[in-house]
Amino acid sequence: RKGRSAMSSDERTSAISLIRHLLHTHGLTHTLAALDEEIGAHVQESGLPSEIIAKVSGILLGTDGADNVGFDYDEVLIAPGKELISKSAGVIPGLHIGNNLSVCFCGKDRDLIASGGADKMVTIAKAEDGAVAQTSFNEHKAPVLSLAPQPGADLLVSTAMDGCVQLHDVAEGSLVKEWRGVHRKFALCASWKDRDLFATCSKDGIVAAFRADAEDGAFQKALDVPMSRENGVNWIDWARGDTSPPVIVAAVQESHTLRYFDIAAQRLWSVSMNELDDGHISFNAMHIAVHPSGKFLAVATDKQRTFIFEWGSRKRVRTLVTPKPVDDFAPAPRQCWDPHGRGIYLTSGTGTVDVWDVGMERCVGELAGHTATIRDMDMVSNASGSRMLATCSFDKTARLWSAL
C-alpha cells in the first residue's frame, strides 16, 4: 500500500507465529493444521516477543495482557493469606419441609441467608442468628435449584426444576419478575456479572442472559446462547474485574471443552480441558468457579478431581485429587474460592467440606457437621475482612462456618 513499506521476512514470521500461538491457545487444531498446510511449513515461535503474545492473548481472553507478562502463577496461589475457614459457626434448621437444595448470602450488606428447597420455597433468614427474616417466597411451582444475589444490592435470582427464572427483592419481600418458558428443562444455575447483567443455564443446553434497561432499570431477557445441541450446561461463571468484557464460561455435559461466550462481541469459542488437546472425554465438568483475581478457573469434575486452569486456556496449573469415594447418586460437587485466593472449599460425597491449600495442592482441613450430602455452598467477606461460609444439605439444615 502507498505510504507503508512491505512486510519483512522477520515481521511475516512473527505475525504467523502469533496467529499460530493464539490458535493453539484456543484449541483450534483444525484451523492450525490448515494454516500450516497453506504456508507450507511450520513456523517456530521462539523468536516471538512474550510481551506481544501476552498483550494480544489478553485482549482476546478478556484479561489485561500487559499484566500477564512474566506472570508467576505461584505468586498468587502461594501468596500469604488469612487463615482458612475451619470451625462451625451455627446450624439453621427448619428452613424447608423437604431438602435444602440451594443457599447463598444475600441483601445489600450480605447479612441475610437465602435458601431454596424441594418444597418450592425460597426462605430468607438472618445470618447472625438464623431467625427467619420475612415471609418466604412461594411463587415457584417446582423445587428451587439455585440462587444468586445481585452484587451490592437487594435483588435475588432463583431458578427451578421446571426451567422457571424469578427475580426477587429481599428488602421489600416481593417478586419483581418471573420468566416462564426461558428453559425447557432444569434451570441449574444463575450467576451475575455485575448489578445490571446476569445469566442462567439449563439442561436444555441454553444459556440465557438478562440485562437491566438503561432507562427504567427493569430487567429483560437479552439473548439466548445455544452452548450445546445434545447436552445440558451444568454451570456458568463470568470473567472477573470491573473492566473485563462480559465473557461467560460454561461447563457442558459430555464435552472435553469449556465454552466461552463474549456477549458484547457475540463470539462463541471452545477451549479444550485435555492436556493433549485431543477429543477424549474422561470426565465431566460439573461445577466451575473463577478465581478472585480472574486469572484462574477451578473445574470440579465427577471423577474425584478438581483442575485449576489458567483463565481462557487449557493449561492446568494445579490438580486437586480427593481420596474420598464418589457417590453416584449424590448431586454435583460444589466449590468456592476463599476471597484471598489461596484456598478453595470443595464438597465431598461424604457430607463434608474439604479445605484445600491450592498453592500446595494439599487438603489442610475438613468441615464436618452435616449428616447427609451437601447440596450447595456460598462464601461472603465483609468490609472488615471477616469471612463466613454457608452450606446446605440433604439433612434439611443449613450451616455456617468461620475462621478461628
**Three cell numbers written together for 402:** 468461620
pLDDT at position 24: 58
- pLDDT of amino acid 332: 83
Average pLDDT across the chain, whole number: 85
Give the residue with greater pLDDT, 133 vs 310.
Answer: 310
**What pLDDT shows up at residue 138?**
86
Is the predicted pLDDT of residue 56 greater than 90, yes or no?
A: no
Burial of 325 (0-12, 13-18, 19+ CB in 10 A): exposed
Which residue is associated with the grid cell 461445577? 287
User: 3-class SS at 386?
Assistant: coil
- pLDDT (tens digit, 9 = 90+) per residue, 288-332? 999 999 999 999 999 889 999 999 999 999 999 987 766 665 668
pLDDT for the residue numbered 182: 94
**Residue 137 DSSP symbol:** B
Q: Which residues contact 152 (CB under 8 A, 6 or more apart)?
A: 108, 195
Which helix (H) or strand (E) segment is 39 a member of?
A: helix 29-39
21-31 average pLDDT score: 60
Given a cut of 50, whether residue 42 has pLDDT beyond it is: no
| Mean pLDDT, residues 43-54 | 46
pLDDT tens string 343-394: 999 998 788 999 999 988 999 999 999 999 999 999 998 766 789 999 999 9
CB contact set of 37 (below 8 Å; sequence gap of 6+): none
Residue 39's pLDDT band (cuts 50, 70, 90): low
Residue among 181, 98, 178, 176 nearest 143 (CA): 98
Phi and psi at residue 380, in whole multiples of 5°?
Answer: -135, 145
pLDDT in tens, 191-214: 999 999 999 999 999 999 999 999
pLDDT > 90 in the chain, percent: 64
* 81 vs 269, more confident: 269
Task: Write the single-letter amino acid at 201.
Answer: C
The predicted structure's pLDDT at residue 28: 60
pLDDT in tens, 237-258: 999 877 788 999 999 999 999 9
Regarding beta strands 233-238 and 219-226, do their DSSP bridges make them parallel or antiparallel, or are they unpaired? unpaired
Greater pLDDT, 72 or 389: 389
Confidence band for 77, pLDDT divided at 50, 70 and 90: confident
Q: How far is CA 214 from CA 74, 200, 242, in A?
A: 41, 21, 18
Q: Which residues pair with 72 in a beta bridge?
A: none
Q: Which position has the grid cell 487438603?
A: 363
- Which pTM value belongs to this model? 0.81
